[in-house]
Amino acid sequence: MSLSEQISLKQRVMKAGIWSLGGFALSLAIRLGSSLLMTRLLAPEMFGVMAVASTLIVGLAMFSDVGLKQNVVQSKRGHETSFLNTAWAIQILRGALLSAAALVLCAVLVILGRSEHIPANSVYAAPVLPYVVAVLSFSTLIAGFESTKVLEANRSILLGRITGMEIVSQAVGLVCMVGWVLVDRSIWALVAGTICSSLIRTVVSHLWLPGVANRWQWDRRAVHEVIHFGKWILLSSVLGFLASSGDRLLLGGLVDSTVLGLYAIASLFVISADGVLSKIMTDVAFPALSEIVRTKGMDLKRNYYRLVAIIAWVSYFLAGFLMTFGPSLIRLLYDPRYHEAGWMLAILAATLATMPFRLAVQAFLALGMPRIQSNVILVRLASLYVLAPLGFYFFGLDGALAMIVFSQFAYLPIIIFYSLKHDLFDLRKELYFLVWIPIGLLAGKISALIIGYSL
């Protein structure tokens, strides 16, 4: 890689990182504002039902993920018109199949509910759940028509307009929710917001982003490449969904809608932080590492740790901060119906400390080794589905949450093993980064005291 190319890559990475962080700030403001507004207008159990319905829709998407984004970013043909149009055709077919599968799932839930094969006190027994799933299925159909210009922008690490598109779609979704709730204070306000957001994102992706204007095309070579690379992405996505959303799937069958609604509010803050860091890793770090690997002109480990440093100080600080400040934050922002979410947030915040290790998985993908990601997720999956129910059985909700957090740490040894094997691990630097956890704990404690006195 020439000096000019190295500078160009560095500039694109920095610019993309700034856009991701700026977009996160606006996105978080919209999500937080939406949460604060809707929790004052809607009951906690509605958020519990919506959490399960959304998780089921996402689950269907993950069970059919062939890694189109990773394919376009990683492939040498990722810039070709025929390749992009074929990816778009595959995406449309996938969206249609997902919508049909969601409707089938809706029918299954209705049948199981009427035959009393679902625990009466669980979220899955909520009468409105099947119908919420059915309506949300249209969001997957709409998303299937999203332009591959989004994938092109990710490949080139040009995230400015993507960030703008996401902010606009979120804002429109919020407006839809508010408009609906003014007429009808029901869960359908949350559903309407999701559908509107998906529709706007798809339309804007075609009109606002530069790149190939999509049309239907079926290139057999491109299909073969997508399927060949995507089979491991599919396995990782399925396992990843079962691991990342397993908490909601499990708790949905163990607790009622109100408790799950409180859990959803608590996890909002952790998911938001997790989301932006994951976005930086997938939209900035992965394309950058892939470009470094393709050109073989830069030190992968040195540049990898430059990225780790950024992820580590943010995630470690936030983990410590929310562990001590989380309960006060919930009391400050939400009415008394939601205060029980505070102690849940303090426990869940610890999972953010695993974020720096996840960057290694992106490095493995850049090296063309998606199988490692599947192995890592499999370890987390096994620990979650075995330990969380046992924790609930012996210690109730506290035990379940503790095991949910532990499952996030269970896969760290395997990541460290592969990192050592591929010369991507530096113990001295890893220990040095840990200093941000006590700094975050102290900052959170001080903030909690300040808030306590001010209240």
What number of other Cβ atoms are within 10 A of residue 73's Cβ? 23
Q: Quick one: 65 exposed, middle or buried, by C-beta within 10 A (0-12, 13-18, 19+)?
A: buried
> Which pLDDT score is estimated for 95?
85
What number of other Cβ atoms are within 10 A of residue 16's Cβ? 26
Q: Give the SS3 label for residue 27.
A: helix
Q: What's the mean pLDDT when you consider all of the chain?
A: 82
User: pLDDT tens for residues 49-87?
Assistant: 888 888 888 877 776 666 677 667 666 676 778 888 888
Instruction: For residues 37 and 396, give the distance between their C-alpha atoms in angstroms, rounded to a whole number.
Output: 31
Q: What residue type is assigned to position 411 of the chain?
A: Y
Domain limits of the chain? 256-448
Task: Please measure the distance between the N-terminal and C-terminal CA atoms of the chain and give it in whole angstroms.
Answer: 57
Find out whether 257 and 44 touch, Cβ atoms under 8 Å: yes
CA-to-CA separations, 413 to 357, 418, 419, in angstroms, rounded: 10, 9, 10
| Tokens linked to 111 | 């049948």
Q: What does the DSSP assignment read for 308-357?
A: HHHHHHHHHHHHHHHHHHHHHHHHHHS-GGGTTHHHHHHHHGGGGGGHHH
> Which pLDDT score is estimated for 167?
84
Instruction: For residues 236 and 413, give the distance between their C-alpha atoms in angstroms, rounded to a whole number.
Output: 18
Radius of gyration of the chain (CA): 22
Contacts 24+ apart (CB under 8 A), 193-196: 193/34, 194/54, 194/136, 194/139, 195/135, 195/136, 195/138, 195/139, 195/142, 196/172
Instruction: For residues 45 and 256, give the distance between their C-alpha atoms in angstroms, rounded to a whole number.
Output: 8
Q: Please state the pTM of the whole predicted model.
A: 0.70
Find out whether 148 and 72 touch, Cβ atoms under 8 Å: yes
Q: Which of 3-17, 273-287, 374-388, 389-403 has the lowest mean pLDDT?
A: 3-17
Of 55, 129, 67, nearest to 94 (Cα)?
67
Q: Which helix (H) or strand (E) holds 413?
A: helix 412-421
Instruction: For residues 256 and 119, give the distance between their C-alpha atoms in angstroms, rounded to a whole number.
Output: 10
The greatest distance separating any two alpha carbons of the chain, rounded to the nearest whole angstrom, comes to 68
Would you give the DSSP letter of residue 285? I
Instruction: For residues 181 and 178, give the distance between their C-alpha atoms in angstroms, rounded to a whole number.
Output: 5
Find out whether 317 and 436 touch, Cβ atoms under 8 Å: yes
Has residue 115 got a pLDDT over 90? no
Interior CA angle at 409 toward 300 and 13, to 5°?
Answer: 30
Q: What does the DSSP assignment read for 422-445?
A: TT---HHHHHHHTTHHHHHHHHHH
Cα atoms in the 13 Å half-sphere on the side-chain side of 158: 12
Has residue 29 got a pLDDT over 60? yes
Taking residues 193-202, report their average pLDDT: 91
Q: What residue type is assigned to position 10 of the chain?
A: K
> Which pLDDT score is estimated for 290?
79
Who has greater pLDDT, 37 or 424? 424
Who has greater pLDDT, 448 or 280? 448
Instruction: For residues 139 and 65, give the distance between their C-alpha atoms in angstroms, rounded to a whole number.
Output: 16
At 30, the pLDDT band (50, 70, 90 cuts) reads: confident
Taking residues 382-400, report their average pLDDT: 91
Has residue 313 got a pLDDT over 50? yes
Find out whether 446 and 325 touch, Cβ atoms under 8 Å: no
**Of 222-231, 302-311, 321-330, 360-369, which has the strongest mean pLDDT?**
321-330
Where do we find the tokens 């694109």? 12
| Tokens linked to 153 | 């922008």
